[in-house]
Amino acid sequence: MKYTDIVEEIARTLGLIFSEKEKLQFLFNDAEEISHEYAYRPGEKKGKALILKLAGGKALYVCADMDTDADGSPRVRKIDPDGGQSGTSLEIDGYPINSEAVPFFVMPMNFKEKFGISPTLGDTGICIYRNRSSGAIFADQGPNYLIGEGSIKLVENLGGNPWNSDKTRIIRGINPGVHYLIFVNSKKDGIPADENGIQLKARKDFRNLTGFEPEPQPVQEYPGRAFRKGDVGEYVRIIQHRLNELGYDLVEDGIFGPKTKNAVVAFQTSKEIDIDGIVGPQTWKTLFGEGTVIEETSVKKPDMIWKPSPNYTDTPARPLKRIILHYTTSKNFNGGVSWLCDPNAGVSSHFVISREGQIAQLVRVTDKAWHCYLNNHDSIGIEICAAPGDEMTSIQGKKLAELVAYLIDEYKMSPQGVTGHRFTPGNETRTDCPGSLFQSYEEIQNWVNDNVLPIIKKSEIPVEHEGYKLLVHTRDVKDDLRLSEADSKKLWEALVAQASNKNDFNYAVREGEMPRWGNAQCAVTTSSVLEHAGMKAGIHHFAAAFNRERREVNDTHLSLTHGVEIQLRRFGWHYFLKKDFAALKGSIGLMAGRYSFAGSSDHSGHIYTILEDRGIGRYDIIADNGGYKHEYIYKTDGFWLPPGILPEKR
């Protein structure tokens, strides 16, 4: 076998399984070495670039370094005054490609003349360096003698830092050892207009060459959900890989088990951030750097100190349904904390709140504290410092409300789950806890309504407007993947922008047309439009759910209109009837005609993107697999919108 070290590094970085690595090895076994002549830099006699022709010229492989090309940046004259150019060889709509925003690579001007084969401006590729990868586009040509150059964005995507200390000048690139895998003549399928489009198309072109698709690489932004013990998947593997880079010894198997949790706790302890064993927004930001986090919740976590108690049970991921309030029977905060941390006491709680409003966390929320007989398995315990007959102090009540609001929002719990110790099953006659603080469950619920709910800022649609309940196939679908408020807003902005740009929309549609499978091409292309918008918004779990290769979703198909609707409902989208509400540009519309499927008659005959609502009884302007802007012969029945995005009533 030839070039096995190259194949090993590419396969490891792209997360290829054994059979996929074998296919890649076959390509390199048949590779034709066409040059070892090109130097990394002018005048160098050593360290020549390796250039291979793969699959009979369908792809090129280059191993070189990567100098930084600032061309196309709006501030190129300042950051690269010695050689930067305002333009790039490739332009889109008359504009150069911005080096700071778009990952692109550079090829010598005489490459085709010398070797009879060359990528075309607009072709895509995948670049790899030290366990990092990035899709890229061929956007600029360089000197005849030089190979190994990439944009500022590409260098940064591969882990390089091209800047000086105050980010005012480009001073460096990446050392030799960068792998360029370039897909020749891939431009024929269209040129993506932004980075997310480039990443999607590079994956598609890799699949066309090899027959499989690489695993997604670590994302630039927080994926919109926390990761905890019991979770599995690619994001967990990315977390494990990053922890290993920092010196932790983990198997990168994508399983968030006890060892991964212990490593996360150790990392949190070393960085003096909240210690809970969960990779949420704060831990993700600390792991992967500034600019990577979109806040997941609308409620800020209150300040607290960490006072670990040994009295807990290490548990796998568990559903949290209740917050149980207790009182310590003493005003002494330090004494109460000490007792709950005493191994001989055999009791604990997750949190303790002092009379002055100080909060101590004793047990990680994901673990089971020993605070309530028969009810520890699905609950969070909060001890309130108070003696018999006491009421809460003003600041104590304020901090309790902030903590309860945060827990409800963070762990997606019902406010009705807030209760007191003696109001839980099996404890009605065992204790008087929480003493005089709350005399009944109803009193606690009144306190929650008055003090907790106003803190939780959620954009909820009134139940009577949930038109999806009229659709049999979505009536009982749970919104278990409901988008956060921040993610919903970002996704909606991406959908509107996509619906406003013919080239961008048509590119997403073309992505959905290959391969052709399933019963409804409109459903396939709508899935692709949703996937493309999710990638542009950086909401990768949403994009993955609409990947056109995922045929089975909730026992149905994304190649059928009702399959797309079911998946939208899972992400918390709401369905509005056009007779009651005006459709917004970018919403997902359904044709009024319905047909019978599996014994039901509520499935739409067509699904599409609405560009303009032209009123009741009129044909809307839409975009679908049939074209970007046209009237459809049928009238719209209703439309879907992300959670928190509200249309106007007619």
Residue-level pLDDT at 193: 64
Alpha-carbon distance values, 573 to 469, 623, 647 (Å): 12, 20, 13
Query: H/E/C letters for each residue in 559-588?
Result: CCHHHHHHHHHHCCCEEEECCCECCCCCCE
CA 249 to chain centre: 25
Query: Does 550 score more than 50 pLDDT?
Result: no
User: Strand runs (DSSP E) across 37-87, as ranges?
Assistant: 50-54, 59-69
Q: What is the mean pLDDT of residues 254-264?
A: 86
Sort 211 into a burial class: Cβ within 10 Å, 0-12 / 13-18 / 19+.
exposed
The helix-helix angle for 258-271 and 234-245 (nearest 10°) equals 50
Q: What is the mean pLDDT of residues 458-482?
A: 58
Residue-level pLDDT at 557: 54
Question: Between 553 and 400, where is the model more confident?
Answer: 400
Among 62, 59, 164, CA closest to 108? 62
Q: What is the mean pLDDT of residues 318-338?
A: 92
Residue-level pLDDT at 105: 95
Alpha-carbon gap, residue 572 to 643, rounded angstroms:
6
Question: Between 645 and 410, where is the model more confident?
Answer: 645
Residue-level pLDDT at 129: 87
Among 266, 238, 267, 263, CA closest to 252? 238
Percent of the chain scored above 70 by pLDDT? 80
Query: H/E/C letters for each residue in 415-431?
Result: HHHEEEHHHCCCCCCCC
Among 102, 146, 142, 152, CA closest to 124? 102
Q: 387: pLDDT confidence band, cut at 50, 70 and 90?
A: very high
Query: Does 63 score more than 80 pLDDT?
Result: yes
User: Strand runs (DSSP E) across 153-195, as ranges?
Assistant: 174-183
Residue-level pLDDT at 482: 80
Q: What is residue 463's DSSP assignment?
A: G
Residue-level pLDDT at 269: 86
Alpha-carbon gap, residue 320 to 324, rounded angstroms:
11
Question: Between 91 and 208, where is the model more confident?
Answer: 91
Question: Between 633 and 552, where is the model more confident?
Answer: 633
Expressed in angstroms, the distance from the first to the final Cα of the chain is: 69
Sort 19 into a burial class: Cβ within 10 Å, 0-12 / 13-18 / 19+.
exposed
DSSP string, 296-337: --SSPPPP-EE---S-EE---S----EEEEEE-SBS-HHHHH
Q: What is the mean pLDDT of residues 394-406?
A: 94
Query: Does 443 score more than 90 pLDDT?
Result: yes
Alpha-carbon gap, residue 143 to 518, rounded angstroms:
48
Query: Does 464 score more than 50 pLDDT?
Result: no
Residue-level pLDDT at 352: 97
Provide the 3-class DSSP secondary structure of residue 465. Answer: helix
The two tokens of residue 535 are 């990638």
Q: What is the mean pLDDT of residues 185-205?
A: 78
- Segment 1-19, tens digit of pLDDT: 678 888 888 887 776 655 6
Question: Between 604 and 647, where is the model more confident?
Answer: 647
Residue-level pLDDT at 461: 41
Alpha-carbon gap, residue 399 to 74, rounded angstroms:
48
Q: 284: pLDDT confidence band, cut at 50, 70 and 90?
A: confident
Query: Does 426 score more than 50 pLDDT?
Result: yes
Query: Does 458 score more than 60 pLDDT?
Result: no
Q: 632: pLDDT confidence band, cut at 50, 70 and 90?
A: low
Query: Does 556 score more than 50 pLDDT?
Result: no
Q: What is the mean pLDDT of residues 121-127?
A: 93
Query: Across-strand partners of 29?
Result: none
Residue-level pLDDT at 136: 93
pTM check: above 0.85: no
Question: Between 579 and 48, where is the model more confident?
Answer: 579
Q: Long-range contact list for 83-88, CB < 8 A, 24+ apart?
A: 84/170, 88/139, 88/140
Residue-level pLDDT at 36: 53
Q: What is the mean pLDDT of residues 249-259?
A: 79
Query: Does 437 score more than 90 pLDDT?
Result: yes
Least confident stretch, 24-38, 75-89, 145-159: 24-38
Residue-level pLDDT at 214: 52
Q: How many alpha carbons fall within 13 Å on the CB side of residue 611?
A: 17
Residues contacting residue 475 through CB under 8 Å, at least 6 positions apart: 468, 469
Residue-level pLDDT at 221: 58
Positive or negative, the CA dihedral 486, 490, 495, 499 is positive
Query: Does 292 score more than 50 pLDDT?
Result: no
Residue-level pLDDT at 459: 35
Query: Does 512 score more than 60 pLDDT?
Result: no
Alpha-carbon gap, residue 504 to 197, rounded angstroms:
9
Alpha-carbon distance values, 77 to 70, 74, 558, 650 (Å): 9, 8, 48, 53
Q: What is the mean pLDDT of residues 270-282?
A: 85
